Structure 1
């Protein structure tokens, strides 16, 4: 079963989260947790929704207001989206470096700055370190 599959009816999700079903309805109304819906408009919760409900209960128990909880959840979602995007960019960069080996050369200066250089050029400074990957011969 996928953690995003909406399979739990409200009473089961409430029991799993340790809450009253009316609390889940309130959280749905204010947008803290948005469960899936059946054709008959009944709520269906996923394991991810139940985990979010448990997190809400923990934050609420620590004295965080519902508006504070909403902001925390939104920030966590944004961090997850950004991490995913960074992973995509790292993969794209790695693919680009593998597809065009030897095209870019970088040097590190004494102050820690990165200098982009054309292949085949040398540094004028004696205290800089050049970093490159040799071309693979096939």
Structure 2
């Protein structure tokens, strides 16, 4: 309930309503439409209060901090996921190499005669579409 969360955060319930309208804190909703604050929401309310009162950050700045912190959390989770996928891929490559023994790699194509082809390389200009 909003009154309990307000008491736990040391704020007036109207302040919580304002923060909800601004999107600083987004509590869950009860079937009747009432706000339901989690322990995480209360901790966030305390952090909003600390940033506002102790550090002098305005509410727009606090909202930006919250958004950026959420982005950092999301990116850290994504990095952990990608690292796990990379580790699994390396493990699978090692398994395949162990099974293949001395078999030739499929990405290498043997040639019987040396090539006389000439390759001209030109750097792409800025703004030029890639092929």
Q: TM-score, normalised by structure 1?
A: 0.67
> Structure 2 residue aligned with 1:52, among 44, 60, 64?
44
More strand by percentage: 1
Mapped partners of 1:29, 1:97: distance in 2 = 48
| Matched residue, 2:8 | 16
Q: Which ranges in structure 1 are unaligned for 5 or more consecutive residues?
A: 1-8, 105-117, 119-138
| Matched residue, 1:99 | 92
3-state SS in 2 of match to 1:26: helix
Mapped partners of 1:28, 1:79: distance in 2 = 22
More helix by percentage: 2
Q: Which ranges in structure 2 are unaligned for 5 or more consecutive residues?
A: 98-106, 108-131
Deviations 1:78-105 (A, max 9, x none): 000000000000000011111111879x
Residue 18 of structure 1: CA displacement?
1.1
| Matched residue, 1:26 | 18
Deviations 1:63-118 (A, max 9, x none): 100000000000000000000000000000011111111879xxxxxxxxxxxxx9
Residue 38 of structure 1: CA displacement?
1.1
Q: TM-score, normalised by structure 2?
A: 0.70
**Deviating 4+ runs (over 4 angstroms):** none
Mapped partners of 1:103, 1:75: distance in 2 = 41
Give the paired residue count: 97
Residue 37 of structure 1: CA displacement?
0.8
